[in-house]
Each structure stands twice: as structure tokens, then as C-alpha cells.
Copies of this chain bind each other. A is one copy, B any other.
């Protein structure tokens, strides 16, 4: 960290700050420029977290030098992490697809979706049991009943399952059924929930919040990781911008940026990013071409009859075509995806 002094700061101001820093066991390094004096702070900056250096007399601002997150940083762990979830390795050479309906509606719907996405090559079945909906008058999910349906489809189709948790209570329930929990964009800064997931050790798909910067996202991942849960996969799902031709703006650059800053795998959710099924295929291919480790896609046997987010769910037939294309793009970017799963 650098402390930048005001042009009119006095020597006593500088001395005062240095003695505070030194009393905390930090080193200091003073550099006088033509316009400003700066103080380099040497040592663990977390010692300073509750000392408002920026309010001290003569201080203009603080400039961080090292990124504030540690456990998610490449500096801490230069090799990419591979998250092994019951044998499926996210972040490995293999592209991992997660697919399934927005919401679990019925046994038949889920089973049909599961068999279809498995046939095309998906490794995970997704489906919402606890649904955070913008209107209180919309379908809110089947809750534990929905998880049981997912579990049955899991065993029948030979897929792993992932489902969103929205509170500590739903986490406690979901843990018993799913292979991986998902934290949705609306809970991206629900630190209480992140901490509980950290304690649970369950693999987690952690979505970016709609107004979260990449740095804040990695900082918040620290809530999960600092509790000992390193099985974190990031998911870019679009950010809020002024453009409203799509529900959100897919920040495709987040893929290579995360790869340069963090060792955690990153997948992309084109369904929530755009909110429109017609854009899911081009953006899925774009995400793989940009280096994503996988995709999570909403697939419904009959989107017309979906009880939630009908507009963004694609058909199994379209998903199948997409899988075939992804199996061709993957090797061009040094990856692999096996099109056409086998039913067990």
C-alpha cells in the first residue's frame, strides 16, 4: 500500500504516520516526488484494516498495490485449480456442461430434461427448487420436494446435480441431496450465506452479482474460502448496464480476466445473461471460444409450458446442436468436450 500525502502536508504529518505504521510492525519507505511525498507500507496490510490512515492529517489518499484477496489469487496459487466433484473435474482439459430446467416443476419434466441433456453430453443436471423471483406473485419453487425429484433424475440418468440455495435453511436441506450448490446473483453479497457455504465444504458454483466488479467478486469468494471450502467455481452471468436489449450484459471479458487473476475455474451462464433463448447458442459458443471451463444452460423439454423464465430456456434439440458445435470448438482452444453422453 502507498500513502499519498497532500501537496501541503507537513513533515510532522509524515512522521506521525510513519510512527503509527511502525508501531504496528509495518515497514515504511518514504519517497519525495516533485509534487507529492509518498510512503510505501511494507508488511501485511491486514494489520491496518481498522486504522483509518486516509483520515489522518496530511493524507490525500491510499493506493493499494497488492490485490486484497489472497486465497482466490493466482499469486497464492499460480496453477489453475481443478475442482473434482464426484469424478467430474471442472477446470481440467474437459469442458463441463450443466443443463436443465429453470425450475423443477414435476418428476416427468425433470426426468425428460435429464435424459435429454445427458444424451447430448452434459455432466450436471440443474434445476431450481428454491426460486428467488422478482415478483411475490410468481411460482416460488417446490423446495425440498423439488430436490427429491432432482435426486431421482440424478440416479436414473447418471448425472450430478446442482441447485441454488438462497438462505441458510435452504442450504441445510439442499446439502443432503445435491452434488454442488449454487449461489445466485442476488445473493452474491449475502456474506452470511457465503460463510455458511464455506463451513459446509460442499462444492459451490458462485455467480457474480449484477453490479459486482471482478475484484469484489474475488474478494467475496474469500468468504467461502477462508472458512476452508476451496471447491469454488465462478460463474459469469451478466452485469447490469444501460443496455436493455438483453436482460443483462454478458461480460465475456471476465473469462480471460479471471484466468489472469485467479486459479479458480470459471463457467458462463448465457441463459440469465441474455434472458432470451435465441441468443443462448451464439453466446455459449463465444464463451467456450473465450476460454470458459464450462457452461450452465437452461433447457426445458417444453419451454412454452415452463412455470418460470420461459423465454430463456432452450429445447433439448437446440441443446443437442449446441453440444455438437462445442465439441468442435473445444479442441481449437485446447480443450475437449465429448458430444453424446451415454445413459447408464
Interface status of A142 (Cβ within 8 A of chain B): no
With known contacts A33-B65, A38-B40, A75-B35, A241–B244 Cβ distance under 8 A: no
- Copies of this chain: 4
Q: Which of B31, B68, B282 contacts A40 (CB 8 A)?
A: B31
Interface residues on A, range: 35 or more
A 163-181 contacts with B by CB, 8 A: 166-170
What's the Cα separation between A169 and B303 when bound, in Å?
37
CB of A229, distance to nearest CB on chain B (Å):
12
Hey, which chain B residues are within 8 Å of A282, CB to CB? 255-256, 289-291
| Segment at the interface with B among A83-91, A92-100, A148-156, A324-332 | A324-332
What's the Cα separation between A135 and B219 when bound, in Å?
6
B191 touches A133 (CB 8 A): yes
What's the Cα separation between A282 and B290 when bound, in Å?
4
Residue of B nearest to A213 (CB): B243
B52 touches A65 (CB 8 A): no
CB of A38, distance to nearest CB on chain B (Å):
6
Residue of B nearest to A8 (CB): B78
A245 touches B222 (CB 8 A): no
Query: Which residues of A are at the interface with B, using a C-beta cutoff of 8 A?
Result: 2, 4, 7, 27, 29, 31-36, 38, 40-44, 46, 49-50, 52, 54-56, 63, 65-66, 68, 75, 132-139, 166-170, 186-187, 189-193, 195, 209-211, 213-216, 219-220, 222-223, 226-227, 239-246, 249-257, 260-261, 273-274, 278-279, 282-283, 285-291, 303-304, 306-308, 310-311, 325, 328-329, 332-333
